[in-house]
Amino acid sequence: MKDIFKDINTIEGVHGVIVIAGDGQVVASAFSSGYGDEQSRLGRFDWSSFAGELSDIHEAEFVFDSKRLYVRKARPGYVLVLLEDLAPVSMVRLNCEILLPSLDRIKPGRKFGQIFKRRKA
């Protein structure tokens, strides 16, 4: 699972990627090496209200004091990329475009590993 997020997480200044469904359920996430403890914090947030507010947005960038949040609409919901303030957002956009076809196969509520199941011949 984390392999599909590897390209985004290796960009300098990227701290992690979260995929949330339209109802706010966390479908998948991966964080860069220094931010692995953030995984345990995901369940503490109510992502449903955040996802509800994003319903008409295709792409957005939220800028805070020292961090940024890049949001991209995808078929299963939204891709959230956590960035430092000087991270190259153009590289993040490009890698999200490459990632989107893989995310289209995800159905909200299903486990992420079903993408990688082997087909029987």
pLDDT tens digit string along 8-52? 888 999 999 999 988 888 888 888 877 766 777 777 888 888 888
Prediction pTM value: 0.79
* 57 in a structural domain: yes
* 121 in a structural domain: no
**Residue 106 reports pLDDT greater than 70:** no
Mean pLDDT of the chain: 81
pLDDT at position 112, please?
47
Closest CA to 103 of 115, 111, 92: 115
**Domain assignment of residue 83, given as a range:** 2-108
CA angle 33/39/42 to nearest 5° reads 145
Q: Under DSSP, is residue 86 helix (H, G, I), strand (E, B) or coil?
A: coil
Q: What total number of domains does the chain contain?
A: 1
* 25 in a structural domain: yes
pLDDT at position 114, please?
46
> Which CATH number does the domain housing residue 32 bear?
3.30.450.30
* 24 in a structural domain: yes
* 39 in a structural domain: yes
The mean per-residue pLDDT over the stretch 73-94 comes to 90
* 116 in a structural domain: no
* 68 in a structural domain: yes
* 8 in a structural domain: yes
Distance CA(70)–CA(62), nearest Å, equals 6
